[in-house]
Structure 1
Amino acid sequence: MAMECNQNQNALHIVMFPWLAHGHIMPYFELSKFLAQKGHKISFVSTPKNLNRLTNLIPQNLAHHITLVSLPLPHVDGLPQGAESTSELPIDKVPFLKKANDRLQLGITQFLEDSNDVNWIIHDFACHWLSQAVSHMRIKLVGFTVFNATTFSFLGSPSDILGGTCRQRPEDYTVVPSWMEFIPSNGIAYKLHEITNHWNCMDPEVSDLQRWAMVVEGCHAVIIRSCPEFEPHTLNLLRKLYQKTVIPIGLLPPHLGDDNSQGDERWESLKRWLDNKEENSVVYIALGTELSLSQELMHELAHGLEKSGLPFFWVVNDRPLVEGVFGVDIIPPGFETRVSGRGMVWRGWVPQLRVLAHRSVGGFLTHCGWSSIIEALGLGRALILFPGGSSDQGLNARLLHGQKIGLEIPRDDKTGSFTSDSVAESIRRVMVDREGELLRENARGMKEIFGNVELQNKYLTEFAEFLVKKSSNGTE
């Protein structure tokens, strides 16, 4: 690999600039490693705390190809001191993080001017100002969304978004748009509680939709974390909506060897617990790093797990219910005693991929983040869909439910409320009931796409070749 790097005559300098969220930073980092393997020079730009998490993840043979470029996050009134990522914030504070991210413009522009050799910038939705900032430089831009093509097809064309002819209220996003009516699984739309919740994390001055529309209009190409084997129709639709080069780069599936859990005492104790369970018997529950349910709904979820009668492993994050106040009784009193032996509640970080890969885990109750879905389907795990109320999660749930790859837990469209009985029934149907066999079979079949590293690397290779070709001929 190192030999390939040293002998690459077409080496480019590529700047990576992801949004300040773990679920965005890691796919950008995976793409960085692949491009570095091809011999390209990578400058990975983010804030100090986010980069600190990456320092030990750079493979030794790529260390001289990947440089972490640290830009201090400017202060913004309303943003809690020291916060540098969405996982550190309640959802109503995220707009202040977007305003702080906008103030990185001066720092990254200075870095680009000082470098004087950057060929490409691969950047996220948040920096809508970047194309204007680099207009006087000989740099090409690629917009990289870490979501799938279905999500962005649903949102519509940049011209409609920026022209104000599109949807203006949260309620407008609860119906299937006309341009998607002939797409398979066309029940894809937000529930009101989902889009209302996401509305609260958008900058009121420049919405997420406007940011992405401006990114698309200002870039040379758009890359999507997907592949045509999974989304042929919406990838084609996206090209029509964008009137621009849209390149699937594959699913960027993670690798078991990439985490540092081997030898960790907590993982070893968890592994022993899983080893004592029957094959495909355990439900794994993890709602991501950013979803906070009310205490009432956490209790309802707990009672549903209890009523299911099945073994489970539940990761509970210590996120505040209300800013500054942690939920002491986030788990019902006596719950862990009642389910002792059958269920385990785990607080803090867990090596999710290792848990999903364990033979005893048969199903995954997930918040429907795209990264978590990719991990689970790469291992053929059946999905119980419990979407969080932000970004793409609700649309992912509709997509997978419609394709009979997972089953969505019924929730009230307006409030997001649900019952413990519906949780228990959904879990049992996906895990053990006869009527869920098709779901389990379809999920296992997804391994051929999501777990096919050779297939996914093919799309990464095609994208790397695109960058070299467009750099050499200088054309669009």
Structure 2
Amino acid sequence: MSSKITHVVLYPVPAPGHFIPLLDFAQKLLIRGLTITLLVTPNNLHLLDPLLSLYSPSQFQHLLLPSALPPKDPASGLLGFLVSLHHQHYPFILEWLRTHTSPPISAIISDIFLGWTKQLADEVGLPRLAFSPSGVFGVSILASMWREKPHYDDPNDMRSVVSFEKLPKSPSQPWWQLCHLYREYKKEDPNRISFEESFLSNMSSWGIAFNSFSDLERVYLNHMKEEFGDDRVWAVGPLLPLGDETKSARGGSSSVPSHKLLSWLDKKRDDSVVYVCFGSGAKLTREQMDALAGALEKSGIDFVWSIKHLGEGHASGDYGKLPDDFEDRVGERGFVIKGWAPQVDILSHPAVGTFLTHCGWNSVLEAITVGGVVMLTWPLGADQYSNEQLLVDDLGIGIRVGGGTKKIPESGELARVLSLSVEENRPERAKAKKLREAALNAVKGGSSQKDLDDLVNTLNQL
């Protein structure tokens, strides 16, 4: 056996939706014998505990980066944060790469929101692989958007539709659904220019790996292979925990005892429970919370509702507060979680048949792979509208119920859809169950396992 060590550096964006799938990817690489150094900021250090307990320091180690400081201009939002990350971490990582000699580094694998690491890798003579925690369709829309630079003539007409005619099926989106990183910043904004250059660097990188699988996004995957070449695009998903020791703690510790939640679910009929969650970062307005609570109350269904915990003082603002006495009124029909929910455990329980979701890609993959559930789609931003298009229009496993940070659904109509979604013979359910089989086959000897093995072989030859 060769004694050669293939050592790769992994660098995620320090946000749950990006960090968690890259950790799952790291475990896939570790199992295949690669040595990994993961770059991590102090606030995410605890998320490494499961892997640190499973692998020796000689195979899995971390480099502690400086804490991600807020941007100079608080109004610059996520775009300012990402650009600030670039300026803070670039010199630190560059110095470490230049001085680290043992074991030598073979490649840098970094998040697509960190496209500037292509320049960093070039400086030290290493290949850079872009890692996308998002789907191929969503990334294709983003790349096309930054290249083609669509605009609208009337700033007051947010109904303008943007067509992406160079992509398969020529998809289109209303202007207001385009990623806010593109839409809400002026062309001359330095942060916007910097991020545009960074994102387009992904398309000139050595290769790209997607958290997706062939049967889910085949036509868009083939399109991306035309961009990079067949041997530089890998679909390695769905990236999910490999065992019970990491499954329940994915992304952090549950804010409720898992046994209490699972005991509650055990009392429910198969496919009769609706799980409601809008991810780790999304927030509903008070009016949206009231409408959703009213719909859940009127529907008569059983449900689990995971509500983002905003901490003391925050719930009194525009976000996050349940209507008074809501939990008392719904009684045993509802299980409310305030904080982090064990989402994989919930979706894998046979009682859960529907998922009301913001369409974040991690949630989409979990719903497909561990649950095979119907999805009620309520996207709020980022790539979530593209994901909704894929789920509803391409795959037929989703039903639109919301859309937009300001839209307030009519609670009576939403209650009706909630009730219909748990019916036994929903066509979306049959398609979802079939897609779940395809996802499991992809990672168990199918296309994703083959792509992952090919990627590792390619890295070993560098």
Q: Which residue of 2 aligns with 1:87?
A: none
Q: Say whether the 8 Å CA contact 1:43–1:66 is kept in structure 2.
A: yes
Q: CA deviation at 1:320?
A: 7.0
* Match in the other structure for 2:41: 47
* 1:85 corresponding residue in structure 2: none
Q: Provide the rounded CA distance (Å) in 1 between the counterparts of 2:345 and 2:281.
A: 21
1:66-465 matched pairs, under 5 angstroms: 66-73=60-67, 75-78=69-72, 93-102=77-86, 103-116=88-101, 117-157=104-144, 161=146, 165-168=148-151, 174-180=161-167, 182-183=168-169, 187=171, 189=173, 192=176, 195-196=179-180, 199=183, 204-206=191-193, 208-217=195-204, 219-242=205-228, 245-257=232-244, 258-260=246-248, 266-319=257-310, 330-402=321-393, 403-411=395-403, 415-432=406-423, 437-452=426-441, 453-454=443-444, 455=446, 456-465=448-457
What percent identity do the matched residue pairs reach?
24
> For the aligned residues, what is the CA RMSD?
3.1
CA-to-aligned-CA distance 1:428-450 (integer Å, 9 cap, x gap)? 2321175xx21110011111122
Cα distance between partner residues in 1 of 2:259 and 2:193: 46
- The Cα shift of 1:239 comes to 2.6
Whole-Å separation in 1 of the counterparts to 2:173 and 2:53: 40
Q: Give, as a single letter, the amino acid of the residue that structure 1 aligns with 2:105.
A: V
Question: Match of 2:329, as an amino acid?
Answer: R
Q: How far apart in 2 are the matches of 1:371 and 1:356? A: 12
Deviation, structure 1 residue 451: 2.7
TM-score by length of 1: 0.84
Distance 1:212 1:156 in 2: 8
Secondary structure, counterpart of 1:153 in structure 2: helix
CA contact (8 A) 1:27 1:252 kept: yes
2:83·2:195 contact (CA, 8 Å) conserved in 1?
no
Give the aligned residue type for 1:113: R
Do the aligned partners of 1:99 and 1:203 also contact (CA within 8 Å) in 2? no
What displacement does 1:327 show?
6.5
Q: Which amino acid aligns with 1:104?
A: H
The DSSP-based 3-state class of the residue aligned with 2:408 is coil
Distance 1:221 1:433, change over 3 A: same
TM-score scaled to structure 2, two decimals?
Answer: 0.86
Partner AA of 1:107 in structure 2: F
Residue 28 of structure 2: aligned partner: 34
Q: How many residues align?
A: 443
> In structure 2, what is the Cα distance between the partners aligned to 1:342 and 1:76?
42
Q: Which residue is 1:3 aligned to?
A: none
Amino acid at match of 1:278: R
Q: Which amino acid aligns with 1:282?
A: V
In 1, the alpha carbon distance for the partners of 2:367 and 2:132 equals 20
Query: What secondary structure is seen at the aligned counterpart in 1 of 2:457?
Result: helix
**Distance change (3 Å), C-alpha of 1:420 and 1:193:** farther
Q: 1:264 to 1:365 in 2, by over 3 A?
A: closer
SS in 2 for 1:299: helix
Measured after TM superposition, the shift of residue 136 of structure 1 is 3.6
For residues 407 and 328 of structure 1, the distance between their equivalents in structure 2, rounded to whole angstroms, comes to: 25
Q: Report the AA paired with residue 367 of structure 1.
A: H
Change in Cα spacing, 1:331 to 1:451, as seen in structure 2 (3 Å) is same
Please list the CA deviations of residues 339-371 of structure 1 after superposition, one character each: whole Å capped at 9, or x if unmatched. 101112111122111111112111111111111
**SS state at 2:122 partner:** coil
AA in 2 matched with 1:15: V
What are the Cα deviations for residues 372-421 of structure 1, in whole angstroms up to 9, with x where unaligned?
1111111343233333323211110111001211111144x794332212
